[in-house]
């Protein structure tokens, strides 16, 4: 009995505690529901509703002619809410899906391989699982999106018909790899090229939108209105000319491949403004394919070699310590400064030359002896002069990654007794290709040094909001007479010196070749021998410069490594193409019909020549037959031709020199004379001398040369 009472007491205690606990829970529920309801509703919203960023459309990058270099294209991830309000019951949903999926198979086939049956099975399974979001395709284009909106079910509208699409923007380069490094990119914290330099303008301002979670990782807007509209990025217009860029890249690519070079760079600048019209940088990958992976033109500061010799003579001439007519002894092409011997690349034709001739032939000994004689007592005067003309300091161009240049000072720890002569020929200094080009461009621009420009304008919705004007770094790097002498030096290199292959009969080129040994770890000769860098820098047309250009080819293989042989042809190809397409740099043509003289006409039949004269509007005499020489001369009104040679009909051999094989055969074999031809081109020798008696059956041997 006593045990029964004890059990009852325990039951009552448990019951009382349970009742109290239940009352406490109910009370707490009422308290949370009514006293703290608003607070907890707001907390719940944090898990189901989120304020999300809306990406602004990044601005475009244009070439100077309006061609699109970089743009942001919208792409969309497509999904379906299988429990959207438009679906009243399962039967209606299944009917809509049956009409929809054949169109999905057709429209989405460029993006993924799925059949209509697979789409149907996927959507019905999601419906059965009460899935509020099922993704059916990623990366759909804008045009495809517009077609999807017209489909059964989807045309009910976004979200209401279960149609969900999420936009993202992808950067595209319409010209693919063309100028890709200059256009640049942004990857994490790495900012490259125009994309990196003008990121703040291109990015725009993102917007905000309230989104509700409908599935794991999937959100849909609470309403179709943006809380904060994004502001699209600004557009920038670069100075790049896409046509010249194409020529520069192809010329550089072909030459690098021909010489199996390590890398190369090429920059074309407009003389008057400093605007960069083309910039190409190509590196050989392990696969042997050349790609743009580093901007050598801006970032690669290294010893420039012989192109530096212009700077040395500029300083010497401006200080009145060196003149073009100064004599220097080349000493057989080598000279010893203290404990080091300087050598020329080839033995000189003569030892005693002028400073101008030493520059034409790019003589290391000649230039270094001139500079050493002028500045040996005060080398700081020389290095200060180099700094004065802009070397040894950054250009502070807009694009990131400019290399750190350096010109030694006599106070530096690594200055030695041989520093002065070696600096004078382009060693013991660090200069980027763009800095070298800027100096030569200043010479072409009559001494005015311009800052290299990469961007002309900033636009917003097509309207110009900022225009960048050309910037002058130094209005006069040297005296006018010094600049005139420098231009004479550069023209002489192409006319008489190491740059003869760059000459043109149509327009004048001025420039300087460069061949520098490449130091590896401070050593100029490695296990595989000496490695070279070939370069050419100059401007054209030389008499009225419009463009300046530098070409550098690093580590060409084989015996071809001189600047005039490797880099020069690239320069010439670019210059020829530009001159052929830009008529404003052509010299004026005299339109007068009066000509002082006409060139001699190829020996041969008269009829073709006379016909050609008539076709170009020259009066021609009415004569036919065969001749051994026709010379056309013109006065104000008439043109005449020499009468046919009659010696052959008199039984003597005519003078056949300069005639083509076909004309000789027609002339001789028609008269029974056998002809033997050796070589090709025009007749240079004949076995029977002119005037020799001949008869039918005679044989004559003709040697032809080009």
Q: Does the pLDDT at position 179 exceed 70? A: yes
| Same structural domain, 27 and 61 | no
Q: How many of the other CB atoms lie within 10 Å of CB of 334? A: 13
Per-residue exposure over 499-535, b if at least 16 CB sit within 10 Å of its own CB, e if not: beebeeeebbbbbbbbbbebeeeeeeeeeeeebbbbb
* Average pLDDT score over residue span 357-366: 96
CA dihedral defined by 657, 660, 661, 666, rounded to 10 degrees? -100
* Average pLDDT score over residue span 229-251: 94
| Same structural domain, 26 and 96 | no
Rounded CA-CA distance 403/431 in Å is 8
**CATH code, domain with 687:** 3.30.10.20
In angstroms, the first-to-last Cα distance of the chain is: 140
Element (H, E) at 641: none
| Same structural domain, 229 and 253 | no
Q: Is residue 364 included in any domain, yes or no? A: yes
**CATH code, domain with 153:** 3.90.1310.10
E strands in 356-507? 406-407, 429-430, 449-450, 455-460, 463-467, 472-474
| Same structural domain, 99 and 20 | no
| Same structural domain, 251 and 227 | no
pLDDT at 484: 97
Least confident window among 217-226, 379-388, 421-430: 217-226
Q: Is residue 171 included in any domain, yes or no? A: yes
| Same structural domain, 568 and 634 | no
CA neighbor of 490 nearest in space, from 536, 426, 538, 548: 538
| Same structural domain, 137 and 264 | no
Q: Does the pLDDT at position 203 exceed 50? A: yes
Cα–Cα distances in Å, from 412 out to 154, 393, 428?
75, 16, 12
Q: Model confidence at 588, in pLDDT bands (50, 70, 90)?
A: low
Task: Provide the angle, in degrees to the nearest 10, between the axes of the packed helices 433-444 and 309-318.
Answer: 50
* Average pLDDT score over residue span 515-534: 69
Domain boundary among the residues 192, 215, 236 is at 236
**CATH code, domain with 261:** 3.40.710.10
Q: Does the pLDDT at position 88 exceed 70? A: no
Assign 3-class secondary structure to 623-638.
Answer: CCCECCCCCCEECCCC
Higher pLDDT, 659 or 401: 401
Rounded CA-CA distance 628/630 in Å is 7
- What φ, ψ does residue 564 adopt, rounded to 5°? -70, -25
Q: Is residue 595 included in any domain, yes or no? A: no
Q: Is residue 675 included in any domain, yes or no? A: yes
pLDDT at 324: 97
Q: Model confidence at 227, in pLDDT bands (50, 70, 90)?
A: low
| Same structural domain, 150 and 287 | no
Q: Is residue 598 included in any domain, yes or no? A: no
Domain boundary among the residues 194, 211, 236 is at 236
Q: Domain containing 623: what range?
A: 606-705
Tally the domains of the chain: 4
| Same structural domain, 571 and 478 | yes
| Same structural domain, 502 and 541 | yes
| Same structural domain, 547 and 674 | no
| Same structural domain, 123 and 227 | yes
């Amino acid at each position: 009995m006593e045990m029964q009472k004890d059990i009852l007491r325990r039951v009552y205690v448990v019951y009382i505690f349970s009742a109290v606990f239940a009352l406490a829970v109910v009370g707490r529920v009422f308290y949370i529901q009514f006293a703290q309801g608003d607070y907890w509703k707001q907390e719940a919203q944090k898990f189901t509703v989120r304020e999300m960023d809306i990406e602004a459309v990044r601005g475009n990058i244009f070439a100077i002619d309006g061609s699109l270099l970089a743009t942001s294209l919208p792409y969309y991830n497509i999904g379906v809410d299988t429990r959207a309000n438009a679906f009243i019951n399962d039967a209606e949903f299944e009917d809509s899906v049956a009409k929809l999926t054949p169109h999905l198979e057709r429209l989405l086939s460029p993006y993924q391989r799925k059949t209509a049956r697979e789409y149907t099975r996927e959507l019905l399974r999601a419906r059965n699982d009460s899935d509020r979001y099922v993704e059916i395709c990623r990366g759909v284009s804008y045009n495809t999106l517009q077609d999807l909106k017209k489909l059964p079910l989807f045309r009910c509208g976004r979200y209401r018909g279960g149609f969900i699409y999420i936009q993202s923007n992808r950067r595209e380069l319409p010209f693919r790899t063309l100028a890709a490094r200059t256009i640049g990119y942004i990857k994490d914290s790495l900012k490259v090229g125009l994309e990196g330099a003008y990121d703040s303008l291109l990015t725009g301002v993102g917007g905000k939108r309230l989104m509700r979670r409908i599935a794991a990782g999937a959100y849909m807007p609470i309403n179709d209105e943006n809380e904060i509209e994004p502001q699209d990025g600004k557009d920038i217009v670069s100075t790049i000319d896409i046509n010249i860029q194409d020529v520069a890249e192809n010329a550089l690519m072909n030459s690098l491949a021909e010489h199996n070079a390590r890398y190369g760079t090429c920059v074309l600048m407009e003389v008057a403004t400093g605007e960069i019209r083309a910039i190409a940088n190509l590196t050989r990958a392990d696969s042997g394919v050349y790609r743009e992976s580093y901007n050598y033109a801006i970032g690669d500061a290294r010893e420039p070699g012989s192109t530096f010799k212009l700077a040395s003579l500029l300083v010497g001439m401006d200080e009145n310590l060196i003149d073009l007519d100064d004599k220097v002894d080349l000493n057989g092409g080598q000279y010893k400064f203290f404990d080091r011997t300087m050598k020329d690349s080839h033995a000189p034709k003569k030892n005693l030359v002028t400073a101008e001739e030493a520059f034409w032939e790019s003589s290391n000994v000649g230039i270094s002896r001139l500079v050493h004689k002028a500045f040996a007592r005060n080398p700081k005067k020389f290095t200060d002069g180099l700094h004065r003309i802009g070397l040894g300091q950054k250009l502070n161009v807009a694009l990131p990654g400019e290399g750190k240049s350096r010109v030694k000072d006599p106070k530096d720890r690594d200055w030695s007794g041989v520093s002065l002569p070696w600096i004078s020929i382009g060693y013991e200094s660090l200069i980027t290709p763009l800095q070298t080009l800027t100096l030569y461009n200043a010479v072409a621009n009559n001494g005015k040094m311009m800052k290299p420009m990469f961007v002309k304008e900033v636009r917003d919705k097509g309207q110009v909001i900022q225009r960048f004007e050309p910037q002058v770094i130094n209005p006069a790097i040297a005296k006018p007479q010094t600049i005139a002498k420098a231009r004479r030096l550069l023209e002489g290199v192409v006319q008489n010196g190491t740059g003869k292959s760059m000459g043109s009969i149509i327009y004048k080129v001025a420039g300087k070749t460069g061949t520098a040994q490449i130091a590896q770890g401070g050593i100029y000769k490695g296990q595989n021998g000496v490695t070279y860098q070939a370069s050419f820098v100059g401007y054209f047309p030389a008499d009225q410069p419009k463009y300046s250009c530098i070409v550098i080819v690093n580590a060409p293989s084989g015996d071809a490594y001189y600047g005039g042989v490797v880099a020069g042809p690239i320069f010439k190809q670019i210059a020829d193409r530009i001159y052929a397409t830009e008529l404003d740099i052509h010299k004026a043509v005299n339109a007068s019909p009066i000509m002082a003289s006409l060139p001699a006409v190829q020996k041969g039949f008269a009829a073709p020549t006379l016909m050609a004269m008539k076709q170009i509007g020259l009066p021609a005499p009415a004569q036919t037959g065969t001749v051994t020489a026709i010379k056309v001369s013109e006065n104000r009104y008439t043109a005449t031709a020499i009468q046919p040679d009659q010696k052959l009909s008199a039984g003597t051999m005519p003078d056949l020199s300069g005639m083509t094989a076909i004309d000789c055969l027609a002339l001789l074999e028609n008269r029974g004379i056998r002809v033997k031809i050796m070589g090709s081109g025009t007749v240079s020798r004949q076995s029977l001398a002119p005037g020799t008696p001949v008869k039918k059956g005679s044989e004559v041997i003709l040697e032809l040369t080009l």
